[in-house]
Structure 1
C-alpha cells in the first residue's frame, strides 16, 4: 500500500492520523487527512485550509497544537498540489481553472468526510490562498461552521502596480491567446531559497523543517503560478470584495495579518477586515507571511488570539497553566 503521509526526521506524523482520497466533481483525486484530538474534553474540529504550494505535512506541528486543545483537525491538499492530483501535464506548475473548483472540493470534503466522521462544532483555520477560498465559500459554510480564523488572506499583493480588475483583464487576454498555462514569472529552481533571503518565516528551524519535506518528498512540491491561476485568483478577490458579498457574510471571522508580510498585502487584508460586519482584526508586528511557521515570539501571539476567539479553548489552557 502506498504511503499516505510522508514524514521526515524532525517532522513525524501526528498520532491519531487517518485519511485517504475523495473524488472531486471532475473526477480528480484529492488527498485528505483527519487527526483526532488528544486533549480532553473534545471541543470540535478545525477544518484547515492550506495556502498555495503547501501540503498536509507542513501543518503537523499546528495539528499537534490543536490536538492539545481538544480540537481535531480535518484538512486536504488543494487540487493541483501536495498529494492531490495535478491538473496539467507539468506537475510543477501552479494551475487551477477557477477558485470555484476549490470551493466545490471543500463542499464535497464537508459532506463526505467532515460531517459524517468528525466531531462538531466546526471551525475554519485558513492561510493565504486557503483564506480566500474560505471567504469565497462562506455562503455554503454559514450553517456548517461556527467561526473562521483567516491568516494573511490573499486579498492583494504588496506594491501591486495593477488593480485586480486590470489583472483579470490582462490574464484573460493571455488565456485566450493560448497562454493560460504559461508561468507568470520565470520558473524558479526546485531548490529552496536560502534561509537568509526567504520571505516566509524568520525561524530557521521551522524553515529547514519545511524545506526538508519537499527535498525528501519532491512529488509534494510545486513551482511558480501560471497565468490561469492568477486570473482565477483575481476573479475570486473581486467576488469576495463586492459590497453585496461583504454585506451577506454571516460567520464571525478573525483576520490575522503579518506586519512584515511581503507575499500578500497586509494593508489590503486589514482594509477588508474593517469592511466585514462580523470580523475582528489582529496584526502581528514583525511577523512574516507564514505565521504558523514563524518563530515562537510571533506564533504564540497568534495562538493566544486563537484561544480567545475559538469558544472553549481558552479555559482549558488556563487550567493547564
Structure 2
C-alpha cells in the first residue's frame, strides 16, 4: 500500500490538488431541506468504494490528502459535507453556529446521498468510513436503514462527548433546559465563532504540518469555517447518545480509539463495542482525536489496520 507522508506533503501538493480539482467530481445534491455538497472519484480497476462520513467542522476539502491516498491505492471514494458543515446548507443566520434540529437528520441526509449519488455511480462492494461525529452519523445510518455496506471503520467515534471541566449530568441538564426555554439557537456556554487556535495548544493532532495545512485551508476558504455548537445541537446529541444503548449494527465494525482524545469520551466506545457481536476496538495510545491527520507513525498504523480490515471483508 502507498502511504502519504509528512516529508513529501509539500512536494506532493501539486499532485494532490490536481487530483482534487480534476479527478474528484464535485456537485450539489438537492434535498427538501437544502443542498448537500459532495465529491467522488473512481479509479480504473477500482476494487472497493470507501464512503466517508466526516466529522464536525469538517468538509471534503479537508480530506484532500486522504482521498488522494485512497485513490492511489485503487479505491473509489465518495464523500459528502453533512448539513451545517462545509459547503452544505446551514440552519442559522450566523453560519458559524453548529446546529441541528434532530441528530438523526444527519443520517437521513446521508441516506439520500447514498441512494442518489453512491448507488448511481457504484454497484460493487462498498465500505463505510466515519470520523468522530461522522462515526455517530454512520452508526445511526447503519442501525436504521437498509444498506449494502460490508463493514465500517469508525475513527474516534462520538458515542459520547467529553465535557472536560463540566460534570456530564450538568452539561446535559443545561442543554435540555436551554432548549426548552427557546434558547436552542444560542451558543452553548463557552462556544464562539470559528477560532483557529495555535498548534501548540491544539487538541486535534500532533502533526504540525497537517494541522497548519488545515488552518491555512480554512483561512483561504472562509465558507468552510464553523464555530462552536448551540444548546440545540448539544441537546440533540445527548438525546441521540442516550438512544445508542438500544442500537445494533449487523456488519463488522472496527473502532479506532485515540488514546489521548479530549473531544469524545472513549469509555462509551468500549461500552458499545462490548454490545456488538462483530466489533473490534483498538486503541492508539499516543494519538489525539484526528487519527487521519496525525503524525506519520500514528496515521500509518491506523491506515494499515484500515486497509487490512477492508481487504478482509
Q: TM-score scaled by structure 1?
A: 0.87
SS in structure 1 at match of 2:36 = strand
CA contact (8 A) 1:261 1:289 kept: yes
The yes-or-no answer on 1:23 pairing with 2:30 is yes
Residue 36 (structure 1) shift: 1.6
Query: 2: distance between equivalents of 1:144 and 1:25?
Result: 24
The reply to whether residue 227 of structure 1 matches residue 234 of structure 2 is no
Task: State the distance in 2 between where 1:56 and 1:122 align.
Answer: 19
Shift of 1:119: 4.3
User: Does residue 208 in structure 1 map to residue 212 in structure 2?
Assistant: yes
The Cα RMSD (Å) is 2.1
Q: Is the 8 A contact 2:194 2:228 kept in 1?
A: no
Q: Work out whether residues 97 and 193 of structure 2, in 8 Å CA contact, stay in contact via their aligned partners in 1.
A: no
Change (3 A) 1:211 1:64: same
Give me the whole-angstrom Cα distance separating, in 2, the residues matched to 1:213 and 1:140: 35
Instruction: Return the match for 1:56 from 55, 60, 81.
Output: 60
1:181 equivalent among 154, 178, 185: 185
2:39 match: 33
**Counterparts of residues 1-321 of structure 1 (less than 5 Å):** 12=17, 14=19, 15-26=22-33, 28-37=34-43, 41-141=45-145, 143-158=147-162, 161-163=166-168, 167-188=171-192, 190-242=194-246, 245-246=247-248, 249-311=249-311
CA deviation after TM superposition for structure 1 residue 205, in Å = 0.3
Structure 2 counterpart SS, 1:67: helix
SS at match of 1:310: helix
Q: Is the 8 A contact 1:167 1:234 kept in 2?
A: no
Displacement after TM superposition at 1:250 (Å)? 0.3
**Structure 2 unaligned runs (5+)?**
1-12
The 1:95/1:158 distance shift into structure 2, 3 A limit, reads closer
Distance 1:207 1:218, change over 3 A: same
The structural deviation recorded for 1:267 is 2.3
Q: 1:37 to 1:167 in 2, by over 3 A?
A: farther
The unaligned stretches of length 5 or more in structure 1 are: 1-7, 314-321
Distance 1:94 1:11 in 2: 29
- CA–CA distance in structure 1, aligned partners of residues 202 and 223 of structure 2: 21
